[in-house]
Amino acid sequence: MLLYIPQLWAKWAITTVNLLQHDGCEMTSTDGAGKYNSARNFGGSFLNWWALNNGYHMVHHMYPAMHWSILKDKHDELVKPKMHPNLYQESILS
């Protein structure tokens, strides 16, 4: 019980958040916009505190080895000016 229940909960949570971050986003495009529009980003501090800034998901895909502590700054610098505005939300609940 101490092993399987937390493991199942974590798998469900990771899969759910991942689906929310990619559902309806561009995977490919001819104009290069897919580079910035293939993931939804959640900027709320609560989720990002718990998930080590995983809400800044597009920059995570662009630079997977980047340390989590600088993802927000890099997201604001590299992704936010070029991505579609509908792909940024403050909360995962909205």
Burial 1-31 (b: 16+ CB within 10 A, else e): eeeeeeeeeeeeeeeebeeebeeebeeeeee
What is the C-alpha to C-alpha distance for residues 94 and 89, in angstroms, rounded to an integer?
7
Give the length of the chain. 94
pLDDT for res 32 = 63
* pLDDT value at residue 6: 94
Nearest CA to 13 among 23, 24, 5? 5
Host H or E run for residue 37: helix 34-37
The answer to pTM > 0.85 is no
Mean pLDDT of 67-87: 95
pLDDT digits (tens, 9 = 90+) for 18-74: 898 999 888 766 666 678 898 999 999 998 998 899 999 999 999 999 999 999 999
